[in-house]
Amino acid sequence: MESPTGIPEGTTFPPELERLGIAPGAKIDIRELDTMGKGHNFHVFLYFEEDLARDSTLREDLQEYSDVPDLERPFIRLDAFLRFATESDPLFTRRLDELPLVVEVVAYGELGTREGKLVPYVKGVMPFLDELTMEDTVGIS
């Protein structure tokens, strides 16, 4: 699988991420993964469909869903998901203390920006949620 920069998306992670415990198959609380992404300058894309997360690249998914609003896609940036969930349910953070949401790390890649910079990203999936929508996840209708 290739990213737009020609750097393959896959299960090989940079050593600095592996030292943090971010490697294929790692299961990490979404709050911890969000904090790591912000602290180490990488984006996290959260997938709600396991097959999509494993069988396509982020670039392919961004192209395929380019005309679909972000909140209606089967994947979203983790920071946007957390912002949406917290705005939709002020008790969301407290609920995460009671029932943590765990992301399984699937892949690593880099995307090129309009400015020509490379932005590293991690793809993750919550396998137990692949039948649910984001609305079900945050408890809104």
pLDDT confidence of residue 10: 84
Q: Quote the CA–CA distance of 56 and 65 in Å, as a whole number.
A: 12
- For the stretch 19-49, pLDDT in tens is 999 999 999 999 999 999 999 999 999 999 9
Do 7 and 109 touch, CB atoms closer than 8 A? Answer: yes
pTM score: 0.82
